[in-house]
Structure 1
Amino acid sequence: MSDTNRQDDWQAAVLGELTGNGPAAADVRTPPGGPAATPVRTAAPAGSTDPGPGPGAPQGVGFPGVPESVPVRGGEGGGRDRHGETAGRRVLRSLRGALGGSAARAVAVESGLAARVQQPVTTGRHIVVTSIRGGSGKTTVTALLSRTYNHLRHDPVLTLEADAALGTLPVRLGVESLRWTCADLARIVRPSMQLTDVTGYLVPLPDGGWLLPGSQGRIGAQVDVAAYRTVTVALRRYFGVTVVDCETLPGEVARTALDTAHARVLTTPATAEGLDSTHAVLDWLATLPVPVLPRTVVVLAVQSPHPAVDLARAGERLAATGAGVVVLPYDRHLASGGPVRTALLGEGTRLAAVRLAAEALQRAVALPAAGGAR
């Protein structure tokens, strides 16, 4: 990174606020041996039963009170075997593809979107997914984005959970156990760490990439603003794209995440009430001093086979605000809960996921974040 880009780096200002030492103190490239590289501790105190860093954790970096690995609850059963589309719909689509060029056109469209998802980034991009109410498909959309970026991109991708303690992101991503959390890592992350050190504290995902959970599923263990800022500042240099499953608005972490994100994804159910609430939020965003609507994508999540709203008209109204709009169609596999399995998604859902990933990354790369990131 050039000196100019380093000066424009939004993390420098954020971490400077946390340390009280100004932007210079936030340079995440502090050489090993500097003050920030001092480990928390390298040995347990006399008489302590602390076993030290767990398996896969970096050597030389200690942590008081190493957390135990706990199994993820809620992943049993669910949408494992149910396909997103009915058998009849799949057969009909196959026949149409055999009789015409629709299949070739679909492949061409998806290939063009995939090329946009694979575009290079000069610095790590943060894409924050949030909503204004629960049950809007926020975590499902995060899981879809995570799988899409991990599948199509060639650089490391991080998925970060900044939601309440009982979030379902680990379940949706097919994770079996959790250990280190965002709050844990915020206390031990150091500028001298390499990518291999950092990933020792992360959860490897079945289809590639890593997850940093917000908790181990215990009530009260939530991510606060200080932990969120510390982790996102420190980890940005390791990952080309970070997808954040954020708490719902107007939570404090959600506001902080939206303010510092390169792109924002706002999920809403495709209902009359959901659309009204979304328009209210977009009107509020339009009044902010720094324009954020051009960096926002609204996901209209269809939650029934027969939506009660005109999706085309709703999309046009939302797009008139300057935000992007992607319709996520009803999918039986997603509606079943459990781990999201790409092979079981409907064709329309897969295409919508790639379109959303391309749209969000394009806005994250083409435009600076509200916090001044480049």
Structure 2
Amino acid sequence: MAEDFEAYRGSVTSTGNDEEPTRQPADVPHEADDRGAGEDHRSLVEDERLTRLLGGERPSEEAARRLADATALVGDEPAARPRRRRAWRRSRRAQQARLDAAERDARALVERILSPFDGARRVAVASTKGGVGKTTVTVLLGHTLASLRDDRVVALDANPDAGTLAHRIERESSANAVDLLDLVGSVRDYYDLRHFTSQAASRLEVIAAPEDPRDTRGITRSDMHELLDRLSLDYTLLLADCGTGVTTAATRAIVEAVDQLVIVTAPRVDSVHSVTYMLRWLEGAGFGDLVADAVVVVNGLREDTGVDVEALMGHFAPIVRTVVAVPWDCDLARGGTTDLGYLRASTRHAIAQLAAAVADGFAAPQRQGPGS
């Protein structure tokens, strides 16, 4: 009933009608978007998505010319030589070819990220140690999928130890996962669920973890299955930001119920050993299918650490489906709210590669967990 959710209404905008929150543009069901109404419209949508992925305006012809001139000026050839018309044309053609190749690569990434699927998909993001960037990877993956795809995307903070996922976006709701669990039987539809979520500009929605240390209620295995099943009725993509390890009841329930695993590790020997142990443990516990289809994220790579990236990625390559390297980014190191637009282009590109790798897994049939 609507009165059950009154305490969590918070800053969810109301129309004056207490039955539903206002349908902001991001809240309107996508069936009403009239997507696919013509090739021109589809092209505009794809161009908008590509611009988001590239992180800005596509270079104009004049910008490309200036960039080509600047490249020639600081390149191996003497600065005077590119002034010759023929050399300038060659430089411009080469620069345009690089721009065209970058755009083709970006479009290919977008096409992979937009891979279709039936039903709903659940993805667990896990790690064996704290401080490796698991929550950061969760929110960046969620931002990318939500901003490019037409699906409703929700990220659930399933960390039992004061998870911080909700602090990575602007908070709209004071509710948390336990509050939702208490009232899950009264939830009728998506608009009831919106009282328990906070939504970022990317359209990603987040459900917070409990933060009151006096609240000693834990989420059991059956509780977690109930939450995941209810959320999957109204969200086609669900990301679960797990606690460290896989032995707690809640995390074990998530592993049982998800379609894919994303495992985050730091580029350190101890972290790599711990993740290898986790993967072997999962194989021995009957989750070999998840391990074989998993994506390992090597997060926070820095050029000055002397880490052999190829060897590190090669270590995991025979065990999992894909390994993605994400560079260190000062805007992520500080924590707090996260926005793709403030990241370095190389970081955005790496997260897009991660989103594409996850979307590649959508081709597999939906995995049948205990609650299915």
TM-score scaled to structure 1, two decimals?
A: 0.71
What is the SS of the residue equivalent to 2:126? Answer: strand
Choose which of 248, 253, 258 in structure 2 pairs with 1:256: 253
Q: Distance in 1 between matches of 2:317 and 2:186?
A: 41
Matched residues, number = 300
Q: Distance in 2 between matches of 1:300 and 1:128?
A: 16
CA contact (8 A) 2:301 2:325 kept: no
C-alpha RMSD of the superposition: 3.3
Q: Distance in 2 between matches of 1:215 and 1:92?
A: 50
Q: Which residue of 1 aligns with 2:294?
A: 296
CA contact (8 A) 1:147 1:207 kept: yes
Q: Which residue of 2 aligns with 1:335?
A: 333
2:199 aligned with 1:204, yes or no? Answer: yes
Choose which of 250, 261, 265 in structure 1 pairs with 2:262: 265
Q: Which residue of 2 aligns with 1:11?
A: none
Shift of 1:105: 2.2
Shift of 1:278: 1.7
What is the SS of the residue equivalent to 1:247? Answer: strand
2:145 aligned with 1:159, yes or no? Answer: no
The structure where helix makes up a greater share of residues is: 2
**Cα displacement string for residues 249-276 of structure 1 (whole angstroms, at most 9, x for unaligned residues):** 1322222211211111000001111112
Shift of 1:302: 2.5
Q: Which residue of 2 aligns with 1:27?
A: none
The residue type equivalent to 1:297 in the other structure is V
Shift of 1:93: 11
Choose which of 349, 367, 370 in structure 2 pairs with 1:369: 367
Q: Distance in 2 between matches of 1:137 and 1:335?
A: 9
CA contact (8 A) 2:259 2:367 kept: yes
2:190 aligned with 1:195, yes or no? Answer: yes
Q: Distance in 2 between matches of 1:367 and 1:308?
A: 40
Q: Which residue of 2 aligns with 1:113?
A: 109
Give the percent of matched residue pairs that are identical in Structure 1 and Structure 2: 23
Shift of 1:161: 0.7
Choose which of 174, 179, 186 in structure 1 pairs with 2:174: 179
Instruction: For 1:65-84, list aligned pairs within 5 A.
Output: none
What is the SS of the residue equivalent to 1:302? Answer: strand
CA contact (8 A) 1:214 1:223 kept: no
What is the SS of the residue equivalent to 2:305? Answer: coil
- With a CA cutoff of 8 Å and minimum separation of 6, indicate the structure with the bigger relative contact order: 1
Choose which of 333, 342, 345 in structure 1 pairs with 2:343: 345
**Cα displacement string for residues 131-188 of structure 1 (whole angstroms, at most 9, x for unaligned residues):** 001011100000111110111011211111111342221222x223541111111122
Shift of 1:371: 1.9
CA 1:199 to 1:192, structure 2 compared with 1: closer, same or farther past 3 Å?
closer
Gapped regions of structure 1 (runs ≥ 5): 1-38, 44-49, 62-83, 85-90
Q: Distance in 1 between matches of 2:299 and 2:308?
A: 13
Q: Distance in 2 between matches of 1:245 and 1:324?
A: 19
The residue type equivalent to 2:176 in the other structure is T
Q: Which residue of 2 aligns with 1:321?
A: 319
The residue type equivalent to 1:185 in the other structure is L
